Amino acid sequence: MRDSRGPRAIALNVGANSNLPGVRGPISPDGRFEYLPIPERQPTSEAVPTYADLDAHLSFEIPERFHDLPVHLDPAFAEYPFCSAYTYGDEHGVKAGPLSRLEPGDVLYFYATLGRHGDSETAADWVVPDWGAYLIGEFRVDRVVTGEAYESLGPEARERFATNAHVRRDPFDAKVLVAGDDDSTLYDRAVPLSEPTGGTDANELVTDLSNDSGRGPWWRRRLWFDADATDLLRAHVESHHTGR
């Protein structure tokens, strides 16, 4: 039976990192950042944007050695270049299972490891000097569709997921697709999950509020939050953004 106290949340690690493609998305000293997707490593049914295409839309200058690589636009945020809706897909069963149990009203958070760029007299004291893990956006869950169910959707329902990277793969490979509602957002400023002392040092949002799979570095893992922890996390995110 579903917990009646309110929404639950899952937080997933996304975005470019030191392995793929070899550079992290940037965060400035005042907390503003750029979301940088990972490269697309699978065949696609149509041409997809490259890092060179993104470079023209972002304030961060993407290293030229990556320009020819296609990008994996997942999660897709409606306000992000070349995207039209809030969608996320996953081909891994270990994540697809928990994601498929999300319901409308739940929250899907996304976090990324970001590298600090530049100097500023208005630096925020929570921005890690080198790199850190930060929440970068959220979906207020509107609809969850299994990969099998997606295959039977009509054209109008499919159109919502049209710019998602897994829909563009050939063959389509998502085991689950999540659509966010109009209250979903890519943040203007990141929300730290790391302590200012270093990227590997988790703060209280991770240590006190979340549960996780317990395998590998915490900043790569799936984090989940029960209803009470979700309420506290949402309040913290709102306070962080309104109090800056």
- Confidence (pLDDT) at 159: 94
Coil/strand/helix, residue 64: helix
Residue pair 14/145 in contact (Cβ under 8 Å)? The answer is: no
Question: Is residue 19 over pLDDT 60?
Answer: yes
Residue pair 144/61 in contact (Cβ under 8 Å)? The answer is: no
**Region 224-235 average pLDDT:** 95
pLDDT tens profile 67-99 = 999 999 999 999 999 999 999 999 987 788 899
Range of the domain at 184: 9-242
Q: Is residue 224 part of a domain?
A: yes
Q: Is residue 165 part of a domain?
A: yes
- Confidence (pLDDT) at 69: 98
How does DSSP classify residue 140? Answer: E
Q: How far is CA 88 from the centre of its chain?
A: 8
- Confidence (pLDDT) at 167: 95
- Confidence (pLDDT) at 214: 63
Q: Is residue 3 part of a domain?
A: no
Confidence of residue 4 (pLDDT cuts 50, 70, 90): low
pLDDT tens profile 212-224 = 756 679 999 999 9
H or E element, residue 198? strand 198-202
Question: Is residue 8 over pLDDT 70?
Answer: yes
Q: Is residue 137 part of a domain?
A: yes
Q: Which residue has the higher pLDDT, 2 or 147?
A: 147
Coil/strand/helix, residue 229: helix
Confidence of residue 134 (pLDDT cuts 50, 70, 90): very high
**Region 97-119 average pLDDT:** 94
Q: Which residue has the higher pLDDT, 27 or 118?
A: 27
Q: Is residue 57 part of a domain?
A: yes
pLDDT tens profile 139-150 = 999 999 999 999
Q: For CA atoms 18, 22, 28, 31, give the dihedral sign.
A: negative
**Region 104-117 average pLDDT:** 96
**Region 1-30 average pLDDT:** 87
- Confidence (pLDDT) at 1: 43
Total count of domains within the chain = 1
- Confidence (pLDDT) at 172: 95
Q: Is residue 19 part of a domain?
A: yes
At 64, the amino acid letter reads E
Rounded to two decimals, the pTM is 0.95
Q: Is residue 1 part of a domain?
A: no
Q: Is residue 4 part of a domain?
A: no
Nearest to 37 by CA among 130, 163, 129: 163
